[in-house]
Structures are given as C-alpha cells and as structure tokens.
Amino acid sequence: MNPVNDRRREHIELTRPEETPPRTASTPTGSGSMRSDARLHEALDRIPVSADYSAFIAQLSAAPTAGPTARAPSPAESSRATLVSPTLRNGRDAIMGQRLDAFRDRFSGPYVVDGASVTARPMFRMNTSTSHNAKKMEAHAPELSRICAKAGIGSAAGPARFGRCSPEQLVKVTQALIDAGKLPPADDKHRDLANRIRGMQWEWGIGVDCAGYTQQAAAEAHGAAGAVFKANLMGDVFSGMMNDKRFATVDIAHIRPGDVIHLDAPRRGDVGHNVICFSHSTLDEAARARLLASPTTGASGTAFLSGAGPFHAFEVDSSWGAGDGDMVGGFRRDTWLFDESTFTWATYPSGQRNLPLNVDPLTGPQGELFGGAFRPRGAQ
C-alpha cells in the first residue's frame, strides 16, 4: 500500500464534484437545441486554427490504412498518434484546444532576423534569487532597460524579467534585443535560429514561468469565466485553489481541456509547478498494446502499462524549468499517463518522448506531487 497515494485518493473522493446527468431518450430536444448547435458551429468557424493543428489533422488524414500496401507506423509515429491526438469529443474541447494553440503561437513571435521571419517558443524565467540565470538577469538589467526604453517599450522590461509578461511584451522585448545586435552566434547548444533566440532570452533573463504561462493561458481558454485568472497576474492563484471558492475541484478521470493542474514539490521549501490541460483521452487496448510494443516505453513503463487501468493520457501546456539554460526548458506540450487503478503516473523525462517513461509511485507527474485539478466555477 502506498500511503501517499491513499491520501490523494481519499482527497479526490471527498472533493469529487457532482456529475451532470447524461442525456437520456426522455431529455427534451427541439429548435432550442438546433439553435445552440448552430451557434456552436459559428463559434468554431470564427476560431483561428494554428498551422500545427492543421498539420496534425492532415497527418491523421494521411495515415496508412490496413491493406497489403499499408506501411507499418514507426514507434515514434505510433506514440504520436496514440498520445498527442487532441481530444475532440465535442465542440467545447475543440474551442479550448484552438484557443490554447493560438495563445502558444502569440508567445512564439514571429521575430524578424536579417529580413527573415522566424518563430521561437518562449524560454523559461522565474524571478527568484536561486534561479540559475538570476545573476545574468541582474547583470543585464540596466542595459536591457535602456534598449527597451529606446524601442519605446520600457514598461515591458520588468514583466519579462519577472517571468510574468504577456506574449506581446516578451515578443517586443526579444525583438528589441535582436534589433540591438544581441543575438548570439550559433554553437553546439544553439544550432538553429530559434534556439539562438531562446538562448538569448535565457542569457538576458527574460521569459515566462509556469504560473505566468498557465494563468494567462487559462484566462484565454475560458473566455468570460477566465477573468478570475486575471485578478493577480503577478501573484500565485494556484497553491490555494483547493480552498478558493472561485474554483471547483475536478476528479482526475474527468479533467477536460482548459482545466489547470497544480503540482506540489516533493520537498518542503521547493517550488511546485502549474500546467493547463490541452487534451485528455482514455487509452483503449489497441493503444496500450502499441505503447507496450514501443522500444521507447522502457522497463518501468512496460510494468506500468501492464497494470489494471483504465489508463488516461493527458497533454499539458506550461513553461518548464530550464536548469542551466537547457533547450528543453520554456514552453512544452508534455504527455502524462495515469493509471486509475493504482493512482500512479508515468511521464517522459523533460517531455522527451525518445526517452523511456519514468514511473515513481511515491510522487507523480515529472517527479512532483499531484496537488489537484481545478476549473473556474461557472465554466462550461
């Protein structure tokens, strides 16, 4: 028996929200329902679809079908199709996913470098004295302020240094540094232009932390109900969500796109983590078999997937720690697996799906403790 998981399970059961009763044959339908469907389709048509999302749908459409000429998918393709497929069970989840994609894209540029347009996902920055690049940020702060003031964006420098900037603020500050000739040359760690930009953000101590990213993403995803996340963008709404009446606690099995997840640090005094759910699906037996057959699953992952299940797959968005400037830091869309029967999580180290799944029954996703999933009250 695992006392940590037992306590978590007990908390989940005590805080399980009431489920909306399913529609039955006696549930009245009519012109009102048809009008709602029409409004939903109109809303979907107005939501911009990102290039990545379109490419993914095209990839699914082009997937090989069964037959004598069918090509067997590679382990990476099988994993991608199994785990990264967006949850499109209804129009609400589709809207959430597209809003989260659009928010991610706003944080990624585009930037103009020598006349060329390039996108670069935002780098991680957390404003604490123990941050790995705290000394670099302090050393560059005076010059950064002068560069931003010259570009007419002086008010954006502070939020970018504190890790709580808006997408537009980070893009403007980054472009000002590029225009000032601060983009470093390529090296072994920063081979392409996008990583050179991200390396520059790390060197100059600008970016966004997990709370800054998740809080703003949730505000964007939930529309009017997301206003609750804008109350204190420089503070922390996540660690107290369990006792905050503005939020409802969500059972793990019922997490939906747009819900936020708080992770507690396993050691007292360390900083936890916050993410927003992009998709949630349940693995069927065929999907689990494909993962079990994949060489990237690893021994601990194989033991995990051999359990009773049911197994859940979550895609989550956040800005992740960068260690000492590692390129795995900053924005990532990670995949987490959860076994409902054992209350155990499996995750890929630093989100890298080419590495074996990591399973630690004493902790949770990415080696942290699951602190709860939450949704603004009144949200759809």
pLDDT tens readout for residues 257-281: 999 999 998 888 788 899 999 999 9
Is 361 in the same domain as 239? Answer: yes
Beta pairing partners, 372: 262
* Confidence at 60, pLDDT banded by 50, 70, 90: very low
Assigned domain for 71 exists: no
- Tell me the average pLDDT of the chain: 82
pLDDT tens readout for residues 321-333: 999 999 999 999 9
Q: Give me the number of domains the chain comprises.
A: 2
Task: Check whether 233 has a pLDDT greater than 60.
Answer: yes
Pairing label, strands 330-339, 311-320: antiparallel
104: tokens are: 């991610």
Is 240 in the same domain as 364? Answer: yes
Is 270 in the same domain as 184? Answer: no
Task: Check whether 318 has a pLDDT greater than 90.
Answer: yes
* Confidence at 239, pLDDT banded by 50, 70, 90: confident
Range of the domain at 164: 111-203
At 147, give phi and psi (nearest 5°).
-65, -45
Q: Which residues contact 246 (CB under 8 A, 6 or more apart)?
A: 228, 376, 377
Peptide bond into 310 cis (omega under 30): yes
Task: Check whether 356 has a pLDDT greater than 60.
Answer: yes
Q: Which residues contact 316 (CB under 8 A, 6 or more apart)?
A: 261, 275, 276, 277, 278, 333, 334, 335, 336, 365
Assigned domain for 85 exists: no
Is 236 in the same domain as 173? Answer: no
d(CA 241, CA 145): 35
Task: Check whether 40 has a pLDDT greater than 60.
Answer: no
pLDDT tens readout for residues 288-302: 999 999 988 999 999
Chain centre to alpha carbon of residue 198: 18
Is 356 in the same domain as 238? Answer: yes
Is 335 in the same domain as 272? Answer: yes
Mean pLDDT of the 40-52 span: 45
pTM for the whole thing? Answer: 0.77
- Window from 88-102, 139-153, 217-231, 329-343 with minimum mean pLDDT: 88-102
Assigned domain for 196 exists: yes
Q: Which residues contact 138 (CB under 8 A, 6 or more apart)?
A: 205
Pick 353 or 233 by higher pLDDT: 353
Assigned domain for 242 exists: yes
Assigned domain for 289 exists: yes
Is 155 in the same domain as 250? Answer: no
Is 119 in the same domain as 168? Answer: yes
End-to-end CA, the chain? 37
pLDDT at 268: 80
* Confidence at 241, pLDDT banded by 50, 70, 90: confident
Maximum distance among all alpha carbons in the chain?
68
Task: Check whether 17 has a pLDDT greater than 50.
Answer: no
Assigned domain for 263 exists: yes
CB of 124 closer than 8 Å to CB of 316: no
Mean pLDDT of the 227-242 span: 84
Instruction: Tell me the percentage of the chain whose pLDDT exceeds 90.
Output: 62
* Confidence at 78, pLDDT banded by 50, 70, 90: very low
Is 370 in the same domain as 301? Answer: yes
Assigned domain for 147 exists: yes
Is 242 in the same domain as 160? Answer: no
Is 192 in the same domain as 288? Answer: no
- Helix boundaries (H) for 180-247: 193-203, 210-221
DSSP state of 20: P
Last residue of a domain, one of 157, 185, 203: 203
Assigned domain for 221 exists: no
Q: Which residues contact 243 (CB under 8 A, 6 or more apart)?
A: none
Is 366 in the same domain as 235? Answer: yes
Token match 């597209």: residue?
Answer: 98
CA distances from 90 to 40, 41, 100, 261 (A): 10, 11, 16, 21
251: tokens are: 């059972």
